[in-house]
Amino acid sequence: MTELFPPIPLSAWADSKETVHRFTQIVGKIRLDQAPPRNHWWHVPFHLTGRGITSRPMGRDLMFAIDFDFVDHRLVINTLAGQTVSFPLHGLSVAAFHERLFTALSHLDIRAHIAGKPYDLTDSIPFAEDTTHAAYDPHWVNRYWQVLSQVGLLLEDYAARCNAKTSPVHHFWHTFDIAVTRFSGRQAPQPDTADPVTREAYSHEVISAGFWFGDKNIPEPAFYSYTAPEPDGLTEEPLQPAQARWVENRGAHLALLTYDDARAATDPRATVLTFLESAYQAGAHRAGWDTSKLRTQYAP
């Protein structure tokens, strides 16, 4: 039986994570080029499958989809015409992955154009030149997908408890997290300095909940929630369970529950749902949301 939350310490797969993160950015940028835009960038993220993650169907002319298979560790391209092209992920540098993917697309008569550098990562090595990132440990990459899948189901449960406008549960390739977002329905003020990505993502009041695998700022996997715009007094609100806390990150505050604290709980699933609900109530209370009108019949 698969453990609900198997261990995934960042230190065990940090190099593989950096490689896979860049793989997903390349495919994600193809979707950005090939899919019609949706509000809040919902057209861009990956969705989960029974074997990995998918770009979902896209295409300006010929419909196609690009899937990461993290069971057999292959990239798979399928087209509406019934064509399939795949190649192994293990043993490829970012540059080699980039070359093989675009060669495969060319053979399928698919013309995609992307910005050829990573977005918001620790370096800006062009994908086509990046031979630095080449680590790929199949065990830990499969573990990443297992955790992503279990957390995805949990976030679906959390999403079902609110009848506000709610995003899909999706896996973002820029931040490498999985998240779901609730909306109050009110527009949010936008500072003049907001970049186009931020302006579209946070055009309305939101409370987001999600999970990431750790980074240089918070070097361990964790569940999180944030409210945007951040209301006054947010960090004065209580969080549950006792291990949860408020942390500062990039000039804002996050509610945080580490993955290991959730794993150690008697009922990890209930513990995470309690945490996410407490963070939602904290943000909604301080931001003046009427949560009594946003509950569903599915809410416990």
Mean pLDDT for the chain overall: 95
How far apart, in whole angstroms, are the C-alpha atoms of residue 22 and residue 13?
14
pLDDT in tens, 193-221: 788 888 888 889 999 999 999 998 899 99
pLDDT of residue 186: 92
Q: Which two tokens stand for residue 72?
A: 């057999």
Contact 213/11 with Cβ under 8 angstroms?
A: no
Q: Which two tokens stand for residue 46?
A: 């990956």
pLDDT in tens, 235-250: 999 999 999 999 998 8
pLDDT of residue 26: 99
For residue 242, which amino acid is it?
Answer: A
Higher pLDDT, 17 or 41: 17
Beta sheet of 252-258, edge-to-edge order:
170-171, 177-187, 204-212, 222-228, 252-258, 245-249
Nearest to residue 250, comparing CAs of 279, 203, 282, 218? 218
Taking residues 63-76, what's their average pLDDT? 99
With 0.85 as the threshold, say if the pTM is over it. Answer: yes
Cα atoms in the 13 Å half-sphere on the side-chain side of 267: 7
For residue 132, which amino acid is it?
Answer: T
Residue 253 scores a pLDDT above 90: yes
Q: How does strand 204-212 pair with strand 252-258?
A: unpaired
